[in-house]
Amino acid sequence: MSKEAALLHPSTSSVPQTPRPDPIIDFVLPAELEATAPPEARGLGRDDVRLLVSWRTSDRLAHMPFRAIGSALQAGDVLVINTSGTLKAALPAMRADGACVALHLSTRLPGGVWTVELREPDGVASRALRTGQAGEHLHLPLGGSATLLAPYPADREVVAPRLWLAALHLPLPWLDYLEAYGTPIRYHYVQEAWPSSAYQTVYATELGSAEMPSAGRAFTPEIITALVARGVQVVPLLLHCGVASLEDHEPPYEEWYRVPAATALAINAARQAGGRVIAVGTTVVRALETVADAQGHVHPGEGWTALVITPERGIHAVDGLLTGWHEPHASHLSMLAAFASREHLRHVYAAALAARYLWHEFGDLHLLLP
């Protein structure tokens, strides 16, 4: 068995034997394939990442620099981007016993309530902390505080909750407070702190995401201009992303979205004319599928979406997807399997592992086309 095949089909001795649902793809991600820093840290541009293009009806693959993405798109295509900007959503906090913790803000709900994740600093980033208690008060900078109200979501029985509903009491407007005292959320594979600009797409217009909609990070104004010159329409929507540190088989939570009327009109016109709708990121797919009917007609709208896209549910309004590389057992793989067969995804991921593509928000990308 080749090294790549072994990664996709690991032996039972290398995998914890805990009961799991049948995975979409099962593989081991080598630590050296985790992108630990943005390409700018190596003196490169944000578009200096690699792109693997696959066509779901065949085994055909193409490897190229991301800046060559225009060669895989065509006049009449509509590229849909998520213009949500990334918050400095990690706050230092202190428990009543003096222990220092990190509070990751996920989603801002009506009434000043947030969904949050309590985490324990580990010297590099942080790890999930499951010792929170309802009613617990956390001290925040400048006299602010947070009170854990109840586990989130309330309809799931969890012995040691990871996410909580929390009330924040801040001495400043929340955006100003996060700008002054927060930092971008980062995980263990990112060894150094990077400025908030490293966690923004070039087209972000409205702050609200706990974590960057990272499929769009590699775009530059020059690439977007070149795509438009080729006849590709670029249209926006908004979906504020919550924390992406979901555990194995943990479904995505409710998120706020807005699909403008002009975007819906452009998508419907393109589909009627035979054009393709290409989503930049799983967040765009979630928003569009929330407002699309069974015939693929997209309606404008805004609100909260709890939509979980599976192979059984299928895709109605989106033809292609630009996305990062997802970890084993990630819930996003179920969405990818709504676009393409498991066999195709295994073929693509084996190729990405063999070619040493990089994972995570600073890593390389996959363009899945019809």
Measured at the CA of 77, the angle between CA 256 and CA 228, to 5 degrees, comes to 90
Question: Whole-structure pTM over 0.95, yes or no?
Answer: no
Domain limits, CATH 2.40.10, in the chain: 90-181
Q: What is the dihedral of CA 77, 86, 307, 134, to 10 degrees?
A: 180
Provide CB contacts within 8 A for 194, sequence distance 6+. 37, 38, 41, 184, 186
Listing DSSP states for 227-249 in one string gives HHHTT-EEEEEEE------PPTT
* Alpha-carbon gap, residue 156 to 75, rounded angstroms: 46
Q: Encode the chain (370 residues) as per-residue pLDDT tens digits.
A: 344 333 443 333 333 333 445 578 888 999 999 999 999 998 999 999 999 999 999 999 999 999 999 999 999 999 999 999 999 999 999 999 999 999 999 999 988 899 999 999 887 777 888 889 999 999 999 999 999 999 988 766 666 788 999 999 999 999 999 999 999 999 989 989 999 999 999 999 999 999 999 999 999 999 999 999 999 999 999 999 999 755 544 567 899 999 999 999 999 999 999 999 999 999 999 999 999 999 999 999 999 999 999 999 999 999 999 999 998 877 788 899 999 999 999 999 999 999 999 999 999 999 999 9
Fold classified for 90-181: Thrombin, subunit H (2.40.10)
Domain limits, CATH 3.40.1780.10, in the chain: 3-86+195-369
Are the beta carbons of 278 and 73 closer than 8 angstroms? yes
* Alpha-carbon gap, residue 90 to 209, rounded angstroms: 12
Would you tell me which CATH number, out of the four given (3.40.50.970, 3.40.50.720, 3.40.50.2000, 3.40.1780.10), belongs to the domain 3-86+195-369?
3.40.1780.10
- Termini Cα distance of the chain: 31
* Alpha-carbon gap, residue 26 to 32, rounded angstroms: 18
